[in-house]
Amino acid sequence: MKKTIEHIFAKPAAPGMVGDGFRVYNYFPSARTFNPQKISPFLLLDFNAEIDFSATDKIRGVGVHPHKGFETVTIAYKGSVAHADSTGNSGVINAGDVQWMTAGGGILHKEHHSEEFSKSGGPFEMVQLWVNLPKQYKQTPAKYQAITADKMGMAELANNGGHVRVIAGDFNGVKGPAYTFTQINMFDIRLNKNGTLTTNIPAAHNTAILVINGEVEVNGSKTPEHSFVLFRNEGEEITINATENSVLLLLSGEPIKELVASYGPFVMNTQEELLEAIQEFNSGKFGTLE
């Protein structure tokens, strides 16, 4: 049975700046009215649609800030992003790479354009996701996964239709390298014009597709560039036909059926836990980062 589409959302009306390096359209939570549980375990999706940054000696980005209780996932499509955090991890991801940071019990981090990209300038395109953690894992030690393009699972589609890079989960038997705390699928899909993809996603998974570039038909519905497709928890089969060369991000996950209490960079289950997280940050428990 085909998975039923609940709604196809257009790109939000206007972008906002995150720091001075990320010009993003927020697809959820702020720009949408659907119940957040409809997209659990995902909490936030920011899309930096392609934009040219001029060359500069100044490093653009977001300075040191805290997180607790969830994970951040940064997917680079064009340009390069540098990361550093209070556990001592640091690195640069380039086009096709992913940074997967587990804030867990608390961390400080910062994200910037890489020094090399800043000096050269050029097209920049990326997605950042926030992924919730179940209550039992909210105090897990912070960690960092650098997932380069060569580490991802690769599924070639029939008839030169394109390919799927599997970041997390399982696409038609091809598995991704990301460690996840709950069941999650995250697929970087590249379709050639007239290419077709068919896959099955569990009906119980909350599922969505973001059209990064191009135009496709999803289960027979026309889906323009930068659209966001939200599915109902009905059916399993998804078929995508590309009317032009296209890039898509498919997300699905087992919903976390717990209370969510959030304040800025902290996502917990209760207001009391939020206050505790703020106190921990203020007392320096998350470590130090220059």
Whether 31 is in a domain gets the answer yes
| Residue % of the chain over a pLDDT of 90 | 97
Instruction: Give the 3-state secondary structure of residue 78.
Output: strand
Instruction: Give the 3-state secondary structure of residue 31.
Output: coil
Question: Of 94, 52, 102, nearest to 72 (Cα)?
Answer: 102
Whether 57 is in a domain gets the answer yes
Q: How far apart are CA 119 and CA 76, in angstroms?
A: 18
Q: What residue numbers bound the domain in which 135 lies?
A: 5-274
97, burial (CB in 10 Å: exposed 0-12, middle 13-18, buried 19+): buried
Q: How far apart are CA 265 and CA 276, in angstroms?
A: 13
The residues pairing with 23 across neighbouring beta strands, listed in sequence order, are 17
Q: How far apart are CA 277 and CA 101, in angstroms?
A: 18
Q: How far apart are CA 81 and CA 85, in angstroms?
A: 13
Whether 154 is in a domain gets the answer yes
Q: Give the model confidence (pLDDT) of 86-108 as tens digits.
A: 999 999 999 999 999 999 999 99
Number of independent structural domains in the chain: 1
Q: Give the model confidence (pLDDT) of 167-183 as tens digits.
A: 999 999 999 999 999 99
Q: Which residues, including other chains, have CB under 8 Å from residue 39's CB and lie 6 or more apart?
A: 28, 206, 208, 230
Q: Is the pLDDT of residue 268 over 90?
A: yes
3-class SS letters over 90-125: EEEECCCCEEEEECCCCEEEEEEECHHHHHHCEEEE
Whether 290 is in a domain gets the answer no
For residue 171, give both structure tokens.
């696409």
Prediction pTM value? 0.97
- Segment 180-203 shows an average pLDDT of 98
For residue 6, give both structure tokens.
């609940």
As a whole number, the mean pLDDT across the chain is 97
Q: Give the model confidence (pLDDT) of 10-39 as tens digits.
A: 999 999 999 999 999 999 998 777 888 999
H/E element, 280: helix 271-282
Question: Of 204, 218, 203, nearest to 248 (Cα)?
Answer: 218
Instruction: Give the 3-state secondary structure of residue 183.
Output: coil
pLDDT at 178: 98
- Segment 143-150 shows an average pLDDT of 96
Whether 53 is in a domain gets the answer yes
Q: What is the CATH number of the domain that holds 245?
A: 2.60.120.10
Whether 236 is in a domain gets the answer yes
Q: How far apart are CA 174 and CA 258, in angstroms?
A: 30
Whether 279 is in a domain gets the answer no
How many residues are recorded in the chain? 290
pLDDT at 35: 87
Output Rg (C-alpha) for the chain, integer angstroms: 18
Instruction: Give the 3-state secondary structure of residue 214.
Output: coil
Whether 199 is in a domain gets the answer yes
Q: How far apart are CA 62 and CA 1, in angstroms?
A: 44
